[in-house]
Structures are given as structure tokens and as C-alpha cells.
Amino acid sequence: MAGAASALFLLDIKGRVLVWRDYRGDVSALQAEKFFTKLIEKDGDPDTQSPVAWDNGVSYMFIQHNNVYLMTASRQNCNAASHLLFLHRVVDVFKHYFEELEEESLRDNFVVVYELLDEMMDFGYPQFTEAKILSEFIKTDAYRMEVNQKPPMAVTNAVSWRSEGIKYKKNEVFLDVVESVNILVNSNGQIVRSEVVGALKMRTYLSGMPECKLGLNDRVLLEAQGRSSKGKAIDLDDIKFHQFILTTHLCFRCVRLARFENDRTIAFVPPDGAFDLMTYRLSTQSALLDSTATNVEIELPVPSDATNPNLRTSMGSATYAPEKDALLWKIKSFSGGKEYMLRAEFSLPSITDEEAAPERKAPIRVKFEIPYFTVSGIQVRYLKIIEKSGYQALPWVRYITMAGEYELRLI
């Protein structure tokens, strides 16, 4: 981070310092508190103002989370974006330890808060900001670090996102291929936007230091291997792989990018637990008509002054949600190619204000899930787990499509 922080402050909603760490001795807590109190009195809610301010030779960067402000101060020419990113990482770590970050949780955990701040920043420079790494040597049930404790293996190991010595009685990998369909249809029935956003979500419960290899029906890979790709392969756009952030200026990807760029092989040492291995996007016309959707919910807008609803449906159930100015029509299972009907009658005021501005009509919004199906046609051809101990791991693969931003405009 260009330009070290002089100090870090945690303040309450009125700008009073709750916790602070002095790294360079050139910005006092009293000085920061006076500045922040003056900022609140002058500009109102700091959350609506610029997150960067300057006063008397000191740059202040701050964010708000619940009823707590987090702020760094620096007398150096600093990278404000890096400071703000670090503060967001502090929030993530505190939420990991305390479930939620607020004034009460800080007051109840002062010892752990100071220990975490000491590990996360040294002499004004960020160190470890990943909760999984910090939790290896700062335990939630132990408020102080053990004397002369060695740094965790994950910090010094070449594979920084995974600890050594992980053991499971049953070695399993769960891979969910989840696709969200985003569609916008105008009032004439024309599709304005249609795309699929996908993610490969993994949960790994594997012992040791396993190497995983994943094969997809990727057109580039199949053609490079001399295999026929007619009707089976897909073209993926905007591929992004899992990124593990160690500090605000140091990050890793568990996928070996050089190998992927050379032969499209997805090889990686997985983090322990849940993570998104890969995300992708496809611009495509969705073909869902032959599929059976479950948990369908259709939100139909109605005038805000509508009353006394009378609703009838040929399938599912419909209710009036006045807080949303909408009808909610729920159908547990909707088979492709089927047609169902909803009839609704409402009472409206007999008198209207002719000078009133026309009411903006919200779009029809649709939610659904389609299990065992992907719009893109993506398929996991294989998922191999190799570990030096030679154990056999069970891979489980599941596919699901759901509605993302699925909207039909009325005007």
C-alpha cells in the first residue's frame, strides 16, 4: 500500500474513539476524534460524504458499518483506495469472529480486537487480512495468542490458501453448476437483453494437499484435443477464477492460469470448505420452454390504491401483497409448454386527480428454479482428485438454473 497508515481508529456513531492503534506516533486519537466530530457537525452523516478527507496535514479515509466507523489516518502521500479496501477487509474479519460488527461486539471483545489489529497491520502496512489464516493462530475462544507461537503453516507454505495437516474421515467434493438467467422483455414482447451468468460452486472436504483436475465441454479444449465438438461443446465468455486475497496488495488464484491458457485444463489445489471456483457469462437466447420449473413466483404490479382483491387461478395460489403493490402468484411446479391462468378483480377509487403525475408501472418479475438443467449446456466431463496418500474421493456434481433479473416491462 503506497503511503503507510499512521493510525487506525474504530469510532462510534457520534465520532468518539472506541478502539485505536497508533503505528507511527504522528496522529493522536484526540486529534482524529476532534476532526471526525467536526465533520459530522458540519456535513451531517459522513456516510453520504466523500470517504476521503484532509485536515491539518492528515489524510483520513473512513467507511461505516452498522453503528461503527472505521478510519485510517496518514501524513504520507497514500493510496486512498488501498486504505479503503483494507478497512473493508477489517470488517470481513471482525464479522468472521463476532458474527456481526457493531459497537456492542467491539466492547465485548476488546482483547481479540487489539490482537487482530496487531496481526492485520504492522507499522502502518497491511499484513494478513484473510479470516481463515488469522483464525489459525487467533482462536475465538482464546483471547490472547500463545507466547512464541509460530506463524501458521498457510502463511509460509507455497500454497498459501490451504493449510497442511487437514484430515477428514470421508473425503468428498461437491460441485454445483449454478446458472442465473437474466432477461429483459419490452412491452412489445421483444427481448432487449438475454444473458446467462454461471458459477461453479465447490465445497471440498479433502485430506492432505490434493490436486484437482476439472474437465468441461469447452469447445476450445475439445478442438485442441482433436475431438468432435458438434452439438456438445460451448463457448464461455468472461471466465474468472477463484481469487484468494492474502493482503490488500497480495492475492493468489488457486487455478494454475498458465496451464489453463496453454491447454484449457483447469488444475488447482482447492481451499478447504466452500468457494466459487469459476464464474462465466454467455450472451444467448434462453431456451426454457421444454423444461419443468419449480418454485415459480410471478410478481404482477397493481395500482397502489387497489383494494378488495378477488383472485382466481387455474394452478397454484395467488395473494395480494399491498406492501409491494403487487400480486404474488406461486406455482410449485410449472411444466414447459403448459399454460395457466390468473384472474384478478380489484376496486379502485372513483375519483382521480387529473393533475397527478402518471404512476410509474413496475415490470413483471419472475423467479424460478430448474433442477438438473443448464441453459448454456455446460457439462462437467470429469473431476479428478489426486493426493499423494492415494485415497479415493467421492465427487458429486449437481446442475441448477434459476431466474436472475427476469423482467417483463408493461410500458
Q: Residue type at 255?
A: V
**Under a CB-based contact definition with an 8 Å cutoff, are residues 71 and 32 in contact?**
yes
Residue 163 in any domain: the answer is: no
Co-location of 306 and 265 in the same domain: no
Residue 2 in any domain: the answer is: no
Residue 50 in any domain: the answer is: yes
**Under a CB-based contact definition with an 8 Å cutoff, are residues 292 and 248 in contact?**
no
Co-location of 253 and 393 in the same domain: yes
Domain, as residue range, for 20: 7-156
Co-location of 338 and 389 in the same domain: no
Co-location of 20 and 152 in the same domain: yes
Residue 409 in any domain: the answer is: no
Co-location of 275 and 298 in the same domain: no
Q: Cell numbers at residue 29, please? A: 486519537
pLDDT at 164: 80
Co-location of 142 and 50 in the same domain: yes
Alpha-carbon 50 to chain mean position:
24
Would you write out the chain's pLDDT as a tens digit for each of its 411 residues?
Answer: 457 888 899 988 888 888 888 888 888 888 888 888 877 766 655 555 788 888 888 888 889 888 888 988 888 888 888 888 889 999 988 888 888 888 888 887 877 888 888 888 888 888 878 887 787 777 655 333 333 444 444 444 456 677 888 999 999 999 999 999 999 999 888 888 888 999 999 999 999 999 999 988 877 666 666 665 555 777 777 788 876 544 444 444 567 776 676 667 788 889 899 988 989 888 776 666 688 999 999 999 998 888 888 999 999 999 999 888 899 999 999 998 889 999 999 888 766 666 666 666 789 999 999 999 998 889 998 999 999 899 999 899 999 999 999 999 988
Three-state DSSP class for 318?
Answer: strand
- The span from the CA of 61 to the CA of 82, in Å, is 10
Q: Cell numbers at residue 81, please? A: 483506495
Name the domain count of the chain. 3
Co-location of 139 and 200 in the same domain: no
Helices 80-98, 110-120: inter-axial angle, 10-degree rounding: 140
Alpha-carbon 183 to chain mean position:
21
Residue 246 in any domain: the answer is: yes
Please give the biggest Cα pair distance in the chain: 80
**Under a CB-based contact definition with an 8 Å cutoff, are residues 1 and 82 in contact?**
yes
138, burial (CB in 10 Å: exposed 0-12, middle 13-18, buried 19+): buried
- The span from the CA of 5 to the CA of 7, in Å, is 5
**Under a CB-based contact definition with an 8 Å cutoff, are residues 4 and 76 in contact?**
yes
Co-location of 129 and 207 in the same domain: no
Co-location of 152 and 267 in the same domain: no
Co-location of 259 and 118 in the same domain: no
Cα–Cα–Cα angle for 198, 203, 209, rounded to 5 degrees? 120
**Under a CB-based contact definition with an 8 Å cutoff, are residues 2 and 78 in contact?**
yes
**Is the model's pTM score more than 0.75?**
no
**Under a CB-based contact definition with an 8 Å cutoff, are residues 214 and 277 in contact?**
yes
pLDDT at 156: 46
For residue 31, give the nearest of 47, 20, 45 by alpha carbon: 20
Residue 391 in any domain: the answer is: yes
Co-location of 26 and 135 in the same domain: yes
- Strand duo 172-185 + 394-408: pairing: parallel
Co-location of 130 and 205 in the same domain: no
- The span from the CA of 208 to the CA of 390, in Å, is 10
Please tell me what DSSP assigns to residue 255.
Answer: B
CATH number, domain with residue 33? 3.30.450.60
- The span from the CA of 196 to the CA of 285, in Å, is 9
252: which residues sit within 8 A by CB, 6+ positions away?
160, 161, 243, 244, 246
